[in-house]
Each structure stands twice: as structure tokens, then as C-alpha cells.
Structure 1
Amino acid sequence: MDLQKTIGFVRTLEKELALFNVDPSDPIVEELTAFFETQNVRITGNRTPPGTPSEIAVLGARSEVHTIVDLALLRELITHSPVSPDEVGVVDTEYEAVLGHLKETTFTSYDHERMFYASREIENRAHRVGYGTIHAGFQRCSIMNRQQPTYRALAQRGLDVHVYGVPDATPPDIDRGQVHTSETTEIAATWFVVFDGAGDDTQKSALVAEEQAEDNFYGVWTYDPVIVDRALDHLERTYVVTGDTRSCSGA
């Protein structure tokens, strides 16, 4: 599954958080919709016959129930965990019953600044772990060059580093890392940072986005190990194992 199809695949994983028998005047549906704005989840309000439980929420997908929680937990979540404009992704907390099932964040309009912010979170995670493999593509070598210090540091830290870009400039020196130059549409159109977690599913993370207009990206930020593994498998098979790109260890 290529990177653009990975984005489409995540869109098919939309979940539903169904609230049952909430007072119609209660703004909780709107509040949860705003709180989970970038999560791949739809919030709905539902009524069932009198005598059935009220103030409960059911999280599920494709007729599979993931969890049932008291609405009080969700009220506490949105009260004590405000979301800032720069917060994306889900960090597991005491609200694991809900957040643990929402491992992917989708976004429709990120500029370069927000893409760099998202990339830094994954790069910092990889640096903290200290080993494993990280793949990063910034579309063009000219953009990649500005990230040279970060990826040299990751390579020197001990990670297996692979960076990708269309060769519009001299590729950067990434120390022991590998620079893959490619003219493929996929490399030219997508921005990605994928970390394998050094084999630990709890550390796996990926940012995969497609530029749909100048400085406007659409994509996903995920901690779901299944989705991360799909992206890793594609990158390894397409660019590393087959040697379809021109690869070098420095400028």
C-alpha cells in the first residue's frame, strides 16, 4: 500500500462515538465534536426507549463496539484536557478506555509550519528511544537540507536513518544515514516521517500527508502500529530493498 493509499485507508477507519439519551439542551455533542475535531471519529446523539440507560457513550466502528463509558468520563476529559491549535495526535492517559482506540489523527489543512511541528514530535520520540529505523521525506532535497542537523543527530544517536527527496539540490550529508533521491510522484507529493519504534508497538508513529495545493497538506498522524507497519513495509520494499532510487550516504 503506497503512502497516498495509506491516507485513504485511514479515512475508511472512521469510528463513531454515540451518546445515548442526553438532554437535548446539553451542548456535549458540539463540545465533543470540537474536542475531537482532528480525530477520525464522528459524534452522534441518540435516543432510545424510556427506561433504557442514559448518559452513556459507545465507541465503535463497523458494528464493532470498542468500549462503553459513562458520559461523565468524557465531560471530565474535555474539561481537563483542553486542545490547543497545535495539539494533534493522542497521548494515552487515564482516559485510555476512549483515547486508546483513537490512534490516528486526520487533518485537512496543514501548512509547512504545522507539518514541521508534527514531524518534530516523531523525531523527538525516535531520539528518546535511541535506536530503530526512521524514514522521512520532505518532497525535495532543498527542504531536506534544512533538516540535515536533525537527521545527522538521529544517525549519530544510533538510528537507521533514511531520508527522501526529489533531487532539486545537492542531497545533504546525513552521516551514517541513507539519502534516497527519486523523481517519483509519490516522493514529490508526500511529506512523511515514519518511526518503527525499535520494534516496540507502543513507540511506533507516523506522519503521512499529501500536498494538495501550495503549502496545504492533507493527511494523517498516527500511533496505530498496523498503519505504521503498512507505511514502513511500502518504503522498505519500494525504495530500500529494490534500490529503485539513487542512494548515497552523503553529498
Structure 2
Amino acid sequence: MSLKRFLDRADESRRSLLVANRSSPDPILNVLEATFDDQPVRVSERAVPDVETDTVLLVEDGEVLATSPLSALRDTIVTVNSDLYRTGAMGIDDLDMPAVLERLDDVRFTLRGYPKSNTEKLLLVVVSRYIEGIAWQAGHGRHRASFQYLSRIKDERGTRRVYERLAETDVDVHVYGRPDWVPSERFDVTTHVGHDADFRDSWVVLFRPRPPTPDANAPDSPSTDHDPVALLAIETEPHVWEGFWTFDQSLVADLDAYVAREL
């Protein structure tokens, strides 16, 4: 068994990003199209009545699932690069995840990293920061993240700062990777190391909130404001990642259980 088997639980449906009533420059649309080139998400544009200028619609089977300003995608994945996240210029409290990207959950992507593509892998980086931000905002629960090499936490200033901030909360933080760095005792995370395929090839970022303590005096038990969420990507060849993200509670629980048991 390996984490790769979970890829088959992603959705095979196709969704579309429709840029409505565009007035922005052509290069913004061109980069957006390049980001989703050869993916199960088609990018198109057209005039749509009663929709604001420069609005992106996420559509599936004729139904609009979500909308976002084109400027939100521009500022998240079009005119930025992963250095903003690695250096900390874009932190967990800066990222405003566009709804149309969030609702691409359970879609199975194949994304190329540099030097094969300058834009595709950024989508995984953005979703990773989004999940880390959810964990940080919740302030409790369990967070798991794999890095292939643990030294990435140390070497990428933005990543190090994210996990320092997570360690300052009541979140139970677990990190996974090959043992080329040992966090100090002041860095309050649980470290798991290994050399097998799951450690070498996987990219996992997973958060499950802690269930709230029921109030015996309340008519209804309280509920958490944060949903479980996970990203899984497998490096199937150098600089090529296949994966998805999901809010499916059962799937997140199964991923959590597998990582806890096998890594």
C-alpha cells in the first residue's frame, strides 16, 4: 500500500472557469489558460448578461458553483510566483483563497513544476498555504504535512515562519520527511522520518479540527467553524505532480489514519 492509491478517489468530472465580461489585459487570461492547460478544467471567456465585469465563474454541468473577481485569481496564481510563499512575503494571514479555486476540490490534476512549467505547480503551493492558514486560524486540532526533505522547513523562510506560528498554537503539528534536518526543542512539532516511497514522493498537507466539547447545558452540541481538509500530491516523475485537494470528511479521515499508521 502507498499514498498513491488515494489518487483514485478523486473526482473525474470536468469543470470550467468562465471569464465573464473581461476588460483586463490579454496576458492575465493567457497565464490563467496556461495554468490549467491539459487539465480537467477548461478556461474560456464570453460576455454574460447581468454579471459584473472581470468575473470568473466556476461551472459544472451548466451550474455555477462559485464566482470570484478575476483580480483575485490574478493576485493569487497569475501574477505571482512561488518565491512569494517560500520567502514569507505571502504568509498564512495574507492569502485570500478565491472561491473558484477552493471549489476545484476533488478534481485530479497533473501539474508540472519548474523548469517544465512556471505556473502549474503554484496551484499546489497556494492550496497548501490555504490549509495551513485554516489550521492556524482554528488554533486547535491536528495538522500533518510532508516535505520530502525536512530541511525545506528550515531552508524556506516562509515555510519555517508558517510552522513556527502553527507551533505557537494548540494545533498538534506533525511533519514528515527524509531526515536531513532535526528541529530544535523550541520548535514544538512532532517529527516523523523515513526513506520509503511515501516519504520520497508525497506532498501531504492535512488538517482535522478538534471536535468541540459538548455543553451539557446547551440544547445542541456546538460545532467547529472549520472543516477538515487535505491536499495530496504524488511526484510521479521528476517535477511532475498528480494530486487533488478535498473537504470530504471521510476521505480526509482515511488519509489521516493512513499517515498516522504508515508514516
TM-score with structure 2 setting the length:
0.57
Residues matched between the structures, number? 193
CA contact (8 A) 1:148 1:172 kept: no
Question: Which amino acid counterpart does residue 112 of structure 2 have in structure 1?
Answer: S
Distance 1:138 1:159 in 2: 18
> 168, 187, 199: which one pairs with 1:175?
187
Compare CA radii of gyration and give the structure with the larger one: 1
Would the alpha carbon gap of residues 201 and 91 (structure 1) be closer, same or farther in structure 2, given more than 3 Å must change?
farther
Would the alpha carbon gap of residues 226 and 202 (structure 1) be closer, same or farther in structure 2, given more than 3 Å must change?
farther
Question: Which amino acid counterpart does residue 217 of structure 1 have in structure 2?
Answer: W
Instruction: Look up the match of 1:109.
Output: 112
SS at match of 1:183: coil
CA contact (8 A) 2:207 2:229 kept: yes
Would the alpha carbon gap of residues 154 and 212 (structure 1) be closer, same or farther in structure 2, given more than 3 Å must change?
same
Question: Which amino acid counterpart does residue 8 of structure 2 have in structure 1?
Answer: G
CA contact (8 A) 1:14 1:42 kept: no
> 225, 235, 257: which one pairs with 1:233?
257
Would the alpha carbon gap of residues 237 and 92 (structure 1) be closer, same or farther in structure 2, given more than 3 Å must change?
same
Distance 2:261 2:251 in 1: 16
The offset of 1:107, in angstroms, is 3.9
Would the alpha carbon gap of residues 17 and 104 (structure 1) be closer, same or farther in structure 2, given more than 3 Å must change?
closer
Gaps of 5+ in 2: 17-32, 44-58, 79-96, 116-120, 212-223
C-alpha root-mean-square deviation of aligned residues, in Å? 4.1
2:159 maps to 1:157: no
CA contact (8 A) 2:134 2:226 kept: no
The offset of 1:134, in angstroms, is 0.4
Instruction: Look up the match of 2:5.
Output: 5
Question: Which amino acid counterpart does residue 106 of structure 2 have in structure 1?
Answer: E
The offset of 1:86, in angstroms, is 4.7
Instruction: Look up the match of 2:217.
Output: none
Runs of 4+ in structure 1 over 6 Å off: none
SS at match of 2:187: coil
Distance 1:157 1:5 in 2: 32
Q: Deviations over 1:155-211 (max 9, x none)?
A: 2111100001111x2222362210111111111111111111334595221111112
Question: Which amino acid counterpart does residue 134 of structure 2 have in structure 1?
Answer: R
SS at match of 2:168: helix
Distance 1:59 1:108 in 2: 21
Q: What are the residue-to-residue correspondences of 1:235-250 with 2, within 5 Å?
A: 235-239=259-263
Distance 2:256 2:40 in 1: 21
Would the alpha carbon gap of residues 210 and 86 (structure 1) be closer, same or farther in structure 2, given more than 3 Å must change?
farther
Would the alpha carbon gap of residues 116 and 100 (structure 1) be closer, same or farther in structure 2, given more than 3 Å must change?
closer
Distance 1:226 1:15 in 2: 19
Structure holding more helix per residue: 1
Q: Deviations over 1:85-126 (max 9, x none)?
A: 9559x8669xxxxx9985324343245962433321111111
Instruction: Look up the match of 1:96.
Output: none
SS at match of 1:137: strand
The offset of 1:218, in angstroms, is 2.0
